[in-house]
């Protein structure tokens, strides 16, 4: 645990736009790496005049797209059997993958369609894997990139806002623990909002369908 905290502090001391993009590409792929230790520290530096918060969000979103494309193309060209075989392998377990997690992401994609690549980017436990079912289904690249950019951008803006706010009130050595304490309730809140939006979309679609039947 101590070594992990020391590694995170090293990231904070040497962070720049390039490494924000690289680390977020890793986070957005199947390799486990929390975005909470990348974007908020960069925004924290921006609050103290060492970086620009807009460029932080842009670099993070670019990196997120790169990582998402890795998952998308691997899934698209390897196919379902190899994807599930990897998820069940030793390497897959090291990446915190499992058949159940991939199935969960695929079921979410099948239920909500292409827009799930946008909404799914905001849901903890789904966001890193939602690109896999998009690739497996053969989703067109341009809509995939548009939805992924919007979803990843929204998530990165939220994390940047937290880091920027904390830059004015929290000492540097307390940043990561504070961010981690914020991330869980924020993730739950976002999930609730997403569920309400999806329910609203479903009810609206159902009412429109019933209206057409009456006509």
Q: Which two tokens stand for residue 60?
A: 């993070």
Residues 92, 32 contacting (CB under 8 angstroms): no
* pLDDT at residue 214 in the model: 55
150: pLDDT strictly greater than 80: yes
pLDDT band of residue 26 (cuts 50, 70, 90) is: confident
72: pLDDT strictly greater than 70: yes
**How far apart, in Å, are the Cα atoms of 163 and each of 80, 154, 157?**
38, 14, 10
CB atoms near residue 114 (< 10 Å): 15
pLDDT tens track for 78-137: 776 666 676 666 665 665 566 676 667 667 666 666 677 777 677 666 677 778 878 877
Q: Which two tokens stand for residue 13?
A: 């001391």
1: pLDDT strictly greater than 50: no
Mean pLDDT of the chain: 76
Classify 211 in phi/psi space as left (phi over 0), alpha (psi -120 to 50) or beta. Answer: alpha
């Amino acid at each position: 645990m101590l070594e992990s905290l020391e590694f995170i502090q090293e990231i904070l001391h040497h962070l720049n736009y390039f490494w924000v993009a690289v680390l977020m590409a890793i986070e957005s792929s199947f390799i486990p790496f929390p975005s909470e230790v990348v974007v908020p520290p960069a925004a924290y530096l921006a609050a103290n005049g060492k970086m620009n918060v807009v460029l932080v969000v842009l670099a993070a979103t670019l990196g997120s797209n790169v990582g998402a494309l890795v998952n998308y193309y691997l899934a698209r060209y390897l196919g379902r059997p190899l994807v599930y075989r990897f998820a069940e392998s030793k390497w897959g377990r090291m990446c915190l993958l499992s058949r159940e997690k991939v199935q969960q992401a695929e079921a979410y994609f099948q239920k909500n369609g292409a827009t799930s690549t946008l909404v799914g980017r905001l849901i903890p436990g789904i966001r890193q894997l939602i690109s896999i079912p998009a690739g497996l289904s053969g989703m067109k690249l341009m809509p995939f990139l548009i939805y992924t950019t919007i979803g990843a951008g929204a998530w990165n803006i939220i994390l940047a806002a937290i880091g920027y706010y904390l830059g004015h009130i929290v000492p540097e050595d307390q940043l990561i623990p504070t961010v981690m304490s914020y991330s869980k309730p924020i993730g739950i809140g976002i999930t609730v909002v997403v569920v309400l939006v999806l329910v609203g979309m479903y009810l609206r679609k159902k009412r429109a369908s019933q209206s057409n039947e009456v006509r």
